[in-house]
Chains A and B, each alone.
Chain A
Amino acid sequence: MESTKVLDAKGLACPMPVVKVKKEMDQLQSGDILEVLATDKGAKSDIPAWAKSSGNEIIKEDQEDSVLKFWIKKA
């Protein structure tokens, strides 16, 4: 999947993955896609919950071993 930017949040603990995602998303344009890599288990439910709350869209989710991947489209 094409992404505008990749955010590597591996190894970061809650709340940092979501904090970083928000910062990156604030820099992007509407329609841009941020790819996020995270290892914190909390991210699995919190990133989608944040996206819902902030009006952005998760267009794809994946997991490779312990690495969670999200593609978030900016609203």
Chain B
Amino acid sequence: MTIKAMKAGEVAKKVINKDDLFIVDVRNNDAYDDWKIEGENITSINRPYFDLLDGVEELVKELPENKEVLVVCAKEGSSQFVAEELSEATGRDFYYLEGGMKTWSEHLEPVKLGDLEGGGSVYQFVRLGKGCLSYMIVSGDEGAMVDPLRLTDQYEAFAEKLGVKVLHMFDTHLHADHISGGRRLAEKTGGTYYLPPKDAEEVTFNFEPLEDGKEITFGPDEVKVKAVYTPGHTIGSTSLVVNDTYLFTGDILFLDSIGRPDLAGLAEDWVGDLRESLYVRYKKMNQDLLVLPAHFAKLKELDEQGRVEARLGDLYEENEGLQVEDENEFRKMVTENLPPQPNSYKEIRQTNMGKVTPDAEEETEMEIGPNRCAVS
């Protein structure tokens, strides 16, 4: 009888592989209701640790006998405490989540999307705990990043493993749900940080404007990145087309939903732009492009390898956000009944503009909780 650490990466693989796992989440009810680990074959119950101080006998009765049981808390301490109690009471092994929900929230699971015709390849980083997607495009020993998160250590470790230097960082827009890693990576590697100029009017640092039609060719495989202005989620939102194969849509178009126009408080002003981007600009593009968004909302959007991608033409058939012919109905859909705004979205925007500089702990705190960048 002992307790063992389970790493966030192991949990991520269980989610992707649809493995069985029983979770006892010992955070308080509010934290659990706001946000928890989910998966097709993951069962979880919420029993706050402070209700278990007098003993775990009642809890033991609720546990399956032949499944792995993982105890989860915010940081780690309480889950170790409860796992030990459980192990003592039952004589069985119990797992606790190493680093708790904090580490789960920050874990990036890299998956390869595919090789590019003419050389190069594209990797997707799936942040299961929050639904963020970011990307590394590799061209020989040179790399580019799309919508990189602040968790730059994980990208750097991955790039080093591939023998790649990331020199081109692209943000499709000024993010409101997570702190960007674009500027930090560019500073570290001596690379360039590209940001749409219309989103960057208030930023306090130097950047390279990502203007409509701009083309950047990089690396030995001469991978081509082309910027296409597609506003609506923000006024600057810009998509990227890579080698006429992949379409990075940022927060404009997701697989199962569309972007929301309200995070800068301008839903009414931007809804027309959103409509134009989704119903005109993308429609004119090569429908065989593979859409790579900056978020997923539901686990069913992941394929069996954990990848989130779909053919543009298929989304025009399947994505409900692209089926609304009537403009007024569309306007209603994206301005009414919006989900709650992401935690700390105003502070996150300020951080991404360089106006405030929170410390690492504050940054973690700001990003805690579910992602809410999509309509519905």
Contacts and interface: CB of A to CB of B under 8 A. Distances in A.
Given A45-B28, A49-B29, A22 B50 contact: yes
User: Which secondary structure dominates where chain B touches chain A?
Assistant: helix
A45 B77 contact: no
Contact of B28 (A41, A46, A54): A46
Given A22-B50, A46-B50, A14 B74 contact: yes
Contacts of A46: 28, 48, 50
A42 interface: yes
Interface of A: 13-16, 18-19, 22, 41-42, 45-46, 49-50, 53-54
Given A14-B77, A15-B77, A45-B28, 8 more contacts: A15-B73, A15-B81, A18-B53, A19-B81, A45-B31, A46-B50, A49-B50, A50-B48
Contacts of A49: 28-30, 48, 50
Contacts of B51: 53
B48, B49, B50, B75: residue with the most chain A Cβ atoms closer than 10 Å: B50
B77 A16 contact: yes
A53 B77 contact: no
Contacts of B230: none
A14, A22, A41: residue with the most chain B Cβ atoms closer than 10 Å: A14
A41 B366 CA distance: 13
A45 B30 contact: yes
A67 to B, nearest CB: 16
B28, B29, B48: residue with the most chain A Cβ atoms closer than 10 Å: B28
Across chains A and B, which 9 residue pairs bring their CB atoms closest together, nearest first?
A49-B28, A50-B50, A15-B78, A14-B77, A18-B50, A15-B81, A13-B77, A15-B49, A14-B78
